[in-house]
Amino acid sequence: MKIVILERSSVGEDVSVDCIGKLGDLTIYDNTVRVEEVQERVKDADIIIANKSPLREETLKDAPDVKLICEFATGYDNCDLAYCTSRGIKVANVRDYCTAMVAQHTFTLALALSQKLFYYDEYVKSGEYSTQSRFSHFDLPFYELEGKTWGIIGMGNIGRRVAKIATAFGCRVIFYSITGRSNYREYPQVNKETLLRESDFVSLHCPLSDLSRNFIDRDALKKMKKDAVLVNVARGGVVNNADLYEALEAGEIAGAGLDVVEKEPLETGNPLSRLKDSNRLIITPHLAWASVEARRRCVEEACLNIAAFLRGEERNIVNP
Catalytic residue among 264, 267, 313, 314: 264
Known active-site residue 105 = no
**Rounded alpha-carbon distances, angstroms, from residue 185 to 37, 155, 173, 200, 241:** 47, 10, 12, 21, 32
Please tell me which residue in 105, 235, 280, 295 is annotated as part of the active site: 235
- Residue 13 vs residues 29, 51, 180, 286, 295: alpha-carbon distances, Å: 12, 15, 40, 17, 10
Does 57 qualify as catalytic in the annotation?
Answer: no
**Three-state SS string across the chain, please?**
CEEEECCHHHHCCCCCCHHHHCCCEEEECCCCCCHHHHHHHHCCCCEEEECCCCECHHHHCCCCCCCEEEECCCCCCCECHHHHHHHCCEEECCCCCCHHHHHHHHHHHHHHHHCCHHHHHHHHHCCHHHHCCCCCCCCCCCCCCCCCEEEEECCCHHHHHHHHHHHHCCCEEEEECCCCCCCCCCCCECCHHHHHHHCCEEEECCCCCCCCCCCECHHHHHHCCCCCEEEECCCHHHECHHHHHHHHHCCCCCEEEECCCCCCCCCCCCHHHHCCCCCCEEECCCCCCCCHHHHHHHHHHHHHHHHHHHCCCCCCECCC
First and final CA of the chain: distance in angstroms?
A: 22
Is 36 noted as a catalytic residue in this protein?
A: no
Catalytic residue among 56, 213, 218, 286: 286
Residue type, 15: V
Catalytic residue positions, numbered: 235, 264, 286
